[in-house]
Every structure is written in structure tokens, then in C-alpha cells.
Structure 1
Amino acid sequence: MIPSGHAVLTGEVGHKRYLPKVHGFDYQVHYFWLDLDELDRIPAKGWLWSKARLAACSYRRADYLPGAADLTEAVRQKVRDLGFTGAVAKVCMMSPLANWGYYFSPLTLYYCFNATKQLVALLAEVSNTPWNERHYYLVPVADAERSHYQHDKAFHVSPFNPMDMQYHWTVLADAEQLELSITNFKAEQKVFSAWFHLAVQPFNLSLLKSLLIRRPWQNVQVMTRIYWHAMKLLFKAVPVYGHPKSKETPR
């Protein structure tokens, strides 16, 4: 089973570095699970929630995958471009939403389902900073409950990780929880892992209000933490790798 309709996802996101120095963290977060075919069924609620307009929490089409005006169709086209040949009947998105007009998401996931509601693929939208670039990975799903996939790294995200790495994905999605882990390997050595463990809760405005009171500027916090932990890694003398468009030599 998968979350039915819209949902709020609450739980933990964490990173752990194993080499060349140990470093890690985890934080409590909230994300949103949106059925892209049913966005119009969420009524606007003043300052709290809006589709397109400025609010504490808002969905804006321009924040996500470019292409067709309909985001579901844009996802279908992108997965086809990346080599997926199966049919995609429904797309649900796991992502933060804009806070008072500010949006940033290191990772947005589009869960692609077939006509029998079986999860068949993930489209991962990865963003970096300060370059403000995006890249898309197709993650085929072989098992509806827990699936594994690996591929070569193709996009520069952290200056503390080189390009010659492999990503190992583990994906779990059901009606009660969403879990995902991405482990980076270099020459068969585990270097870095990122993960989230999120509980699925029904979407309602009272829950949304309590989360926004607790974390009104989550997107700003995410960006701040990226640079805060980058400073810690610099103090630990972890090698820095330049953007591939400039150079890859560590310094």
C-alpha cells in the first residue's frame, strides 16, 4: 500500500560521513506527500496554505521540474527521456513547499505508479548550492515495498565528495512510512550516507499549523545547516573538490 491522497510526512533526516573523517547529524523535519492529480482539492486557507499565492506554506508549479504546465506530464516525459519504458498512471511528490515565498529542496522525489497503484519508479530531482543547478536520476523500483538500485554519480552536490563515486539507493514506501537511504561508495569503500525516515499522517490544516509554528522557516534552516556543516568539515580538514566545470583536484 501507499499513502492515499495527500499526506504530511514527519520524522528524521540524517547524514553520516565515514571517510576521510567521521561527521554526522540528524534533524527533525516535515515534508509533504502530494497527489499531483488532486492538488485542486486542497482549499486555500488564508495565510496558512495556498496554491501559487504567498503563504506560510504554498505549492508553486515553478519550483519544480520544468517542462509541461502539468507537473504529472512533465514527470512522465522526464522518466521517458531517462529510459523508463513502463506506463506511469499516477505521480505523487515528496517535497517541502515554499515558506513565505522561499523554496529550496536538496532532494525532491516523484513517486511513479502504474495503473494498479504499484510503485514502478522514482524520479529524483537533486539541487545543489551555491550553483543553483538541478539534475535528475531515474531509480527503477523492482520491489513494491523495499527496492535497491545503484548507479554512478553524475552530478556535483557536495564539494566534499568527488565525482568518481557510486550511489546505492534503498527505497521503502507504504501507507504508514516512507524511508530512503543513499549511500556513496568510492572504490568499494563506504564514504557517506544520507537517509530519511518519515511517518505518514493525514493532511489537515490543524496539523499543518502546528508544524509551521514549530518550524516556520524550515527551508531557510536547511540552507543554513548546509553551510554550517560545510564549515565543520573544513575545520576537520576534509578535502574539497572543485566543481567539475572548473576542476576536480582536491585542496
Structure 2
Amino acid sequence: MTFAHQILQGMTWHARQLPTPHEFHYPYRFWAVNLTQLADNPLPNVNMSASHVPTWLPQWLKKKWLKKSLQQSLTLPLLSQHHWALYQFHQADYFAINRLDPSLDNCLTASVGQPAPLASLLVKAQQIWQQLTGSQPTGEVVALVVLRNMGWYFSPVNFYIGFDENHQPSHFLAEVSNTPWNKRHYYGFLLTGEKTLYQHDKGFHVSPFNPINQQYHWRVEIHPKRYASANDNPEQNGFDVVIDIGLTDRRGKVFNAGVSLKGVQLDEASVITAIKRRPWMSATSLLQIYWQAFKLYVLKRVPYQAYNQRLPQ
């Protein structure tokens, strides 16, 4: 039984304790893409006709004459793996895949049985796990990623979950981006079943309000579920997820952030529903980041930390 492609929806939160309390939360969404099955089971192409005109469109666009015209001639591509859409899964957005040595692509089909560059994503994840943990998942790999939105990609973090041959979570990988500096870093560790606690030293400057000499404390919960067979599709595995990241230093608990997300099977109906609710998630996420940074720096006077600046001993 394979893992289904899913939409994971819920909330993300940020709570700062030091040096000044500050917290906020807002709705969030990841697309859970089964990288192992992606070549044989690609993401569906989902289009929206005028019969699905969402509430967020201006009122004049909803007039009956335009609705009839759209039904007859136009559709809006909502989701695609292969061409432009409101949300597009574009392989080059992950692991800087477009910078891989071209000679690597020539052997990918033989190594994992998938055509490049889809195989490149899976191989790159396995390579990073091998480097960071000394092992690779023996089962499927599911990527929790943000997709291109209106042709534009932005994601503070993507997660990758590896499973063993019994569909139990075994490996975890975080692909972290630091927004102002446009760099990426990877943290990977082994999972011990459905709930894992793990801590390590911080190795990458992310927030301009946190020094580099701090420690991360992870809590990763993967709660399995199953999707019943429907429309000639077999029963498939799925999961809900909670990921909480605490940050400490010699002063104590400084900050924590996380997501709590419920999975739904990715199909035409769930895609349309999700995008109707939040059509511009990438833009709203970036605005949230800079708005909260403005409040921290200007209104709450939290000191700015230069790149890789250390907390004085």
C-alpha cells in the first residue's frame, strides 16, 4: 500500500519568549507529494471552470453573462506538475535541482527506476540523509512542500519524511531557507516511530533577531491514517503531522514555532476547495514574515542580530 499525495492544512504558530514576548499564528498549507511514486502517479492537472467561481473574485467578475462566457470558452489552471498553473509543482524549486551535475541525470533511471529530473529529487534526499544520518529510508519518501504560486516560489522551510518498508516513519529532513539572504541549509535525523524528540546545535542563521549559538529542540509527530478505495483507486496510506521547533540558549527558552496539519487526499475536489480558501498563500506568508519583523524591530525594539552573530558569553 502506497502513500497518497495529500494536501496538509492547518495552522502555523510562532511564539517568542526572549528578549521580548511576541506571538502570532495563521493558516498554513503543505502539499504532501510522494516522491517515490511521482513518476507513475503524477499530480493531477486541475482546472477551474466558471462553475467554480470563488468568493474572492471581484463582484463584477461573477456576473451571469461573464460566467456563461467562461463556461463556454475559458478555464483557469489551478494545479499542474507539467505546465504553468496557479499552483505548480516545479522540481527545480527543491534541492536546487537545476544545479545538479548533468552527468548525474544519465544514471538516475537505472538507480531508482524513474526518469530524471523527478528521480533527482528522490536521489538528492537520499544522498542528504546518507550524509547526515548514515542511512537512507527503505520505503517511500514524502515531501511536504510549498508550490509555485502564480509562477513565484517562496517557502521558509520544506520537510521530507522517509518511511521504512512497513510504512513507519524512519527519517526526517528539513530544507530551511533564510528569507533575506536566500540561502538554504539541511537538518536531518532519524525518527523513532510516530513521535520523535531530537535536539542539536543551530548551524544556520535564519532570523535577524536570533544569534547563531543556540540549540534546536524538535518534536515530530506523524499520525497515520488511511484513505478508502474510490473510483477504481486502491486504498492508500496518509497521515496528519505536528512539527514543533524550540530554540534555546544560555538565557533559557527563546522561541518556538511549528505547524499542526490535517491531511486530505489530493484530488480535484480537495484542490479546488483548498485554493478557494487561500489562493495566494505564498504572498500572504511572505507579508506575514516582514510584517512581524517590522513589529519586532520597530515597535518592540528587539535588537538586530548580524549574520552569524553570537550571543556574548
Equivalent in the alignment of 1:166 = 215
* Count, aligned residues: 246
- Contact 1:72–1:90 under 8 Å retained in 2: no
Q: Within the alignment, does 1:120 sit opposite 2:170 as a pair? A: yes
Q: Distance in 1 between matches of 2:2 and 2:264?
A: 9
**Structure 2 stretches lacking a partner, 5+ long:** 48-76, 105-116, 226-239
Q: Give 1:30 deviation, angstroms.
A: 1.8
Equivalent in the alignment of 1:13 = 12
Q: Give 1:188 deviation, angstroms.
A: 6.0
- Contact 2:19–2:302 under 8 Å retained in 1: yes
**Structure 1 stretches lacking a partner, 5+ long:** none
Q: Distance in 1 between matches of 2:303 and 2:2?
A: 41
After TM superposition, the structure 1 = structure 2 runs for residues 1-251 of structure 1, keeping only pairs within 5 Å, are: 4-40=3-39, 41=41, 42-46=43-47, 47-65=77-95, 66=97, 67=100, 69=117, 70=119, 71-142=121-192, 144-176=193-225, 177-187=240-250, 189-234=252-297, 235-244=299-308, 248=310
TM-score by length of 1: 0.92
Q: Give 1:196 deviation, angstroms.
A: 0.7
TM-score by length of 2: 0.74
- Contact 1:106–1:128 under 8 Å retained in 2: yes
Q: Distance in 1 between matches of 2:124 and 2:188?
A: 14
Q: Deviations over 1:213-240 (max 9, x none)?
A: 2211101111111110000001201111
- Contact 2:132–2:189 under 8 Å retained in 1: no
Q: Deviations over 1:8-47 (max 9, x none)?
A: 1111100000011010001112211111122242332341
Q: Distance in 2 between matches of 1:248 and 1:186?
A: 11
User: Higher Cα Rg: structure 1 or 2?
Assistant: 2
Q: Give 1:205 deviation, angstroms.
A: 1.5
Q: Distance in 1 between matches of 2:169 and 2:198?
A: 14
Higher helix proportion: 2
Identity rate of aligned residues, in percent?
Answer: 35
Q: Distance in 1 between matches of 2:187 and 2:134?
A: 11
SS at match of 1:139: strand
Q: Distance in 2 between matches of 1:31 and 1:130?
A: 22
- Contact 1:3–1:175 under 8 Å retained in 2: no
Q: Give 1:137 deviation, angstroms.
A: 0.3
